[in-house]
Amino acid sequence: MKNIFVLILLLSSVLLSAQSKKELEAQIKNLQTEIENLKKPKEIDLGGKYARAGYGMGVLIANNIRSQGGDSLDVEAIVAAVRDVFAKNNLKIQQQECLPIVQEFMKEAADRKNSLAKEEGQNFLANNKKQEGVKVTASGLQYKVITSGSGKTPAVSNKVTVHYTGKLIDGTEFDSSVKRGTPAEFGLTQVISGWTEVLQLMKEGDKWMVYIPYDLAYGERGRVPIPPYAALIFELELIKVN
């Protein structure tokens, strides 16, 4: 900021002393270039271990803040606070005041993020059920048959062997037994309620696309890497009723 102020003073001087319009335009252009260069982020040399560790710390902190809905935070204010602490400058907000300020902001940010996720999931399912071949159960669960089998149908007391690929509604894949190359085996009471319900509708050999509302999946809390209020999409194949 101090450097920019100096440049503004220089610009004023140029305006007073320039001998020609051409000279004035050239000097103004040079000063504008100087100002733009000052605004550019400083190039960081990550050759040393302390620089790499510092940058890594910044990445972890920033990703954690963003994941909790802190996208709207003023990044420059964060950087200024970090510099003040490391330089032992007088803090503009005292440490004991910071926690309640941050807690209030993060609660509001999380509420906004959760509300948006809930709305996006509801909108996705409302549109998806209009697609050809999609069926909807009384609970709101949706499914579409890809391949029909003819084997046994599991009861809630059974264990099953399945292959699956799970995605968020934006297409982000969060788990896949197919990619691991090993089918999953579990009891029907050991999984999310959406799976418990849909597997009792399937036969051995069935492969379905399954669309699960958040309240039949991981609910209001989510589970890493699945965020709260997330509707889920699974390609689910029932291989065997054990």
pLDDT in tens, 108-147: 988 898 999 999 999 999 999 999 999 999 999 999 999 9
> Do 159 and 123 fall into the same domain?
no
Q: Tell me, yes or no, whether 236 lies in a domain.
A: yes
Catalytic residue chosen out of the listed positions 65, 78, 84, 174 = 174
Q: Counting beta carbons within 10 angstroms of the beta carbon of residue 237, is it exposed (0 to 12), middle (13 to 18) or buried (19 or more)? A: buried
124 is catalytic: no
> Do 174 and 207 fall into the same domain?
yes
Q: Tell me, yes or no, whether 149 lies in a domain.
A: yes
Whether the predicted model's global pTM rises above the 0.75 cut: no
> Do 143 and 237 fall into the same domain?
yes
Q: Which of 1-15, 51-65, 128-142 has the lowest mean pLDDT?
A: 1-15
> Do 142 and 219 fall into the same domain?
yes
> What is the average per-residue pLDDT within 199-210?
98
Largest Cα separation within the chain, whole Å, is: 93
Spell 204-220 as b/e; 16+ CB within 10 A means b. Answer: bebbbbbbbbbbbbbbe
In terms of Cα–Cα distance, which of 110, 137, 107, 139 is closest to 214?
139
215 is catalytic: no
> What CA–CA distance (Å, rounded) separates 206 from 59?
43
> Do 148 and 226 fall into the same domain?
yes
> Do 3 and 67 fall into the same domain?
no
Catalytic residue chosen out of the listed positions 218, 226, 229, 233 = 218
User: What pLDDT, on a 0 to 100 scale, did the predictor assign at position 35?
Assistant: 60
Q: Which residue has the higher pLDDT, 62 or 143?
A: 143
Local confidence band at 3 (pLDDT 50, 70, 90 cut-offs): low
> Do 139 and 206 fall into the same domain?
yes
> What is the average per-residue pLDDT within 19-25?
62
Q: Tell me, yes or no, whether 47 lies in a domain.
A: no
Domain that holds residue 15: 1-40
> What CA–CA distance (Å, rounded) separates 108 from 116?
12
Q: In sequence order, which ranges of the chain are alpha helices (DSSP H)?
A: 2-17, 21-39, 49-67, 75-86, 95-128, 177-180, 193-199
User: What pLDDT, on a 0 to 100 scale, did the predictor assign at position 191?
Assistant: 96
Query: For residue 1, is pLDDT > 60?
Result: no
Q: Tell me, yes or no, whether 56 lies in a domain.
A: no
Q: Tell me, yes or no, whether 146 lies in a domain.
A: yes
> Do 140 and 218 fall into the same domain?
yes
Query: For residue 32, is pLDDT > 70?
Result: no
Structural domains in the chain (count): 3
186 is catalytic: no
Last residue of a domain, one of 128, 156, 174: 128
Whole-angstrom CA distances from 54 to 47, 59, 106, 238 are 12, 9, 24, 48
